[in-house]
Chains A and B, each alone.
Chain A
């Protein structure tokens, strides 16, 4: 099994990524290429479904930080869902849950994606 596989599907107007494996210093370039490629194609509504993501380290978080500004400038969003405990702890510990909205399920995230986006910081819920 390869260390990181990333599939994606477009659902409504959201590009949903399904990373499978782990994101660390060795695999982060594949992750960055996938996200960056979507943005270059004009996809600014992005959901990362973390169901099969075992962990992400600070290199992976750096990728998200590197694209969030451009996404927000283009009235888009970067949502995440289905995090396991380890991934959630990393986000929560660093306060990333204040910058990136995290949902329990893909359905919830897609439902939120259909709501009009605004410029407010996401809440703690």
Chain B
């Protein structure tokens, strides 16, 4: 009989791209621990990569001297990943995901990170506060359909 793993991990790291792979690996491991198969764990890892990259590049505008705080919470319902920062918040009202048919036809470049996050996670939210937060959620026990 397997017991449902629950728990919480927090990590704080400098706003530098060299740390992104460590975070991606951590997200992958958290997803495996949550019971997701390797395919879904890979998607969770990529969503985290994109979210953290956005914080470093856009919220902090490449300033390497800021901090990113990340919290992984594994509860009975889902794997919740929160990425906190004090840079420029992302206004979710202004998010416009690209139409991929048009995008590929026009051979555009960039702007795919938010779309990948949306496609690979079950829920995504951007919360503005004293610390801004990008919240990613992947539900457990959903048969991993379309995951």
Measured CB to CB, the residues of A under 8 A from B are 3, 22, 24-26, 55, 57-59, 61-62, 65-66, 68-69, 85-86, 89-90, 93-96, 98-99
Contacts and interface: CB of A to CB of B under 8 A. Distances in A.
B101 interface: yes
Contacts of B57: 25
18 contacts: A22-B24, A24-B17, A24-B53, A26-B17, A55-B24, A55-B42, A55-B45, A57-B46, A57-B116, A58-B53, A58-B110, A66-B109, A86-B43, A89-B42, A89-B43, A90-B46, A90-B116, A96-B104
Nearest 8 pairs of A and B residues by beta carbon: A86-B42, A26-B17, A58-B112, A25-B17, A65-B109, A95-B100, A58-B113, A25-B53
A98 to B, nearest CB: 6
Contacts, number: 75
Interface residues of B, number: 29
A31 to B, nearest CB: 13
Nearest to A100: B104
A57 B53 contact: yes
Given A55-B49, A58-B116, A94-B100, A24 B42 contact: no
| Binding site secondary structure of chain B | helix
A83 to B, nearest CB: 12
Contact of A25 (B20, B45, B101, B108): B20
Interface of B: 17-18, 20-21, 24, 38-39, 42-43, 45-46, 49-50, 53, 56-57, 100-101, 104, 107-110, 112-113, 115-116, 119-120
Contacts of B18: 26
A85 B120 CA distance: 13
Nearest to A56: B46
B21 A86 contact: no
A86 B104 contact: no
Contacts of A69: 107
Contacts of A86: 39, 42-43, 45-46
Contacts of B38: 85
A52 B104 CA distance: 26
Contact of A93 (B21, B49, B113, B120): B120
Nearest to A99: B104
A32 B107 CA distance: 17
A59 B53 contact: yes
A96 B116 CA distance: 12
A61 B112 CA distance: 9
Contact of A55 (B46, B104, B119): B46
